[in-house]
Amino acid sequence: MAIAEGRALLKELLDHATQPAFVYRHEWREGDLVVWDNRGVLHRATPYDTVRYKRLMQRTTISGDPAEIAAVAG
């Protein structure tokens, strides 16, 4: 794919994925736990005041086809 064509495709995909209907923005409260699957979402971090607020972040990585995992879990 030509560079210009690839860039146009990426813009189209990003424009689609970032429509308000597909965006979730979390308003943090003490005790919240949020989990997401990076294989199926476009994650964007926002600024966080680490001086005023403590947070614990843990990452777990799995492998495999999401459809196969859902079939086993479902």
Compute CA 15 distance to the chain's CA centroid, rounded to the nearest angstrom.
Answer: 15
Residues in CB range of 50: below 8 A, 6 or more apart: none
Stated pTM of the model:
0.57
- Residue-wise pLDDT for 21-74, tens only, equals 999 888 888 888 888 887 778 888 788 888 988 888 888 877 777 777 777 776
Tokens representing 18 are 């970032």
Domain chopping of the chain, boundaries: 3-73
Tokens representing 52 are 């005023």
Predicted pLDDT of residue 36: 83
2, pLDDT greater than 90: yes
Rounded Cα gap, residues 5 and 13, in angstroms:
12
